Amino acid sequence: MSSYDVSAVRSSFPILQHEVHGKPLVYLDNAATSQKPEAVLEVSRHYYERLNSNIHRGTHHLAQEATAAHENARELIARHLNASSAEEIIFTGGATDGINLISSTLGYSGKISPGDIIAISNLEHHSNTVPWQMLCDRSGAVLEVIPVTEQGAIDPADFDHLLEKTSGRLKVLALTHISNAFGTILPLAQMIESAHRAGALVVVDGAQAVPHLSVDVQKLDADFYVFSGHKVYAPTGIGVLYGKHSLLEELPPWRGGGEMIRKVSYDGTTFNDLPYKFEAGTPNIEGAIALAAALNFLNELGLQNVSNHENEMIRRAADALTSIRGLALYGPSDRSGSLSFNIDGIHHYDLGTLVDKMGIAVRTGHHCCQPLMNRFGITGTLRASFGCFNNEDDVDRLAEAVEKGVEMLR
């Protein structure tokens, strides 16, 4: 058994004291959005009660305090990702916002030309698919897709084949770190190294990885890495784009407005230095500060401890569910974060609705991965996704609810 004190962790999350349909809440939808611990809620409240002010340009006391807290958050996030400097950390509205920023500015920069190749995998969330399709439509580039195996993983031979087929034309490789639908962990370090040898830039969607793994962007050698605050125990509406300094310097601004400028006249505008060049307008100040608090919360627990505990819960859930007749699990056995499954002859939405009536929050549907669902000939799955606070009782109640729901629907 793990020495992880999950009872103490659970006591940090007020929402877990609530009931749903008269039953104690079992929250297993962390891949969609995470719940917030007291440490984060207190920081958010403190900001609005004690610091609330616009930042960077004010000379008064509150403005200076808010600016310091916001930029301290940037520094902490840079250390958390092992970025080489805080200038490489751009605050965004979330992972989707960050991917759109990169895809758009790559298009504006002239780096993508007709006939160039942009590659993604069949595991990608729509947020790491549609922006690249849009860039292809605008630029004349071609989208290529790395297939997945029956186990929901990437076969290195398929990736090597794509590199050979696109030799000299591959400009961008955009990959998830961990699949939100199946929990598949991609072998990113090797794929990034191979893509760089082929002359491609690599963009990583880390929305599902940052809550579960220690991410070192320098070790990975990712060119760009994005994640969302709300997946990692912080508020919605805040995210991070990490980019290598030299690449961010090369790219043009995305949005125009205040803060991203150095000087404005009707004859022309000069743009601000990094990271502010990409942060037009008043930022989500509270969100950035709360995101830093969320990462501090995780670091105090120990990311390895969290990962070990969550993986133990996923294995327990997989073992408990496999006794159900007609159950199909998706993804490899060494999955992270999420457990996706279906029951033969039962629609995922119907079963998910019944499970909800028993107080269990799981996600049903295509999980914003319609091409992946099409690959497996399904419309969607039930997905139980785990966080630092889930315990054995949550897993047992999930299994009991699914079994009972199956009995009612057969």
Name the CA dihedral angle for 29, 205, 162, 219, rounded to a multiple of 10 degrees. -120
> Which class does domain 42-299 fall in?
alpha beta
Is residue 54 over pLDDT 50? yes
Tell me the mean pLDDT in the region 332-359. Answer: 97
In angstroms, the CA 219 to CA 109 distance is 27
Strands 360-361 and 26-27: parallel
**This prediction's pTM:** 0.97
6 Cβ contact partners less than 8 Å away, ≥ 6 residues apart: 309, 388, 389, 390, 391
Q: Where are the domains of the chain?
A: 6-30+302-409, 42-299
Is residue 3 over pLDDT 90? no
Is residue 217 over pLDDT 50? yes
36 Cβ contact partners less than 8 Å away, ≥ 6 residues apart: 13, 15, 233, 234, 235, 294
38 Cβ contact partners less than 8 Å away, ≥ 6 residues apart: 12, 13, 14
In angstroms, the CA 150 to CA 376 distance is 8
CB 56 within 8 A of CB 216: no
Beta-sheet strand order (sheet of 338-343):
327-330, 338-343, 381-385, 363-365
- Encode pLDDT of 5-36 as tens digits: 999 999 999 999 999 999 999 999 999 999 99
Work out the number of other CB atoms within 10 angstroms of the CB of residue 49.
Answer: 8
- pLDDT category, 57, cuts 50, 70, 90? confident
Q: Tell me, what's the pLDDT at 390? A: 98
Q: Tell me, what's the pLDDT at 199? A: 97
Q: Tell me, what's the pLDDT at 359? A: 98
In angstroms, the CA 219 to CA 45 distance is 36
Hey, is 48 helix, strand or coil?
helix
Is residue 308 over pLDDT 80? yes
Q: Tell me, what's the pLDDT at 2? A: 53
Domain 6-30+302-409: assigned CATH number = 3.90.1150.10
Q: Which residues are catalytic?
A: 368
- pLDDT category, 58, cuts 50, 70, 90? confident
Q: Tell me, what's the pLDDT at 287? A: 98
Tell me the mean pLDDT in the region 249-260. Answer: 96
* Residues 363, 364, 370, 376, CA torsion sign: positive
229 Cβ contact partners less than 8 Å away, ≥ 6 residues apart: 94, 235, 236, 237, 238, 239, 240, 287, 290, 291, 294
Q: Tell me, what's the pLDDT at 1? A: 39
* Residues 349, 351, 354, 355, CA torsion sign: negative
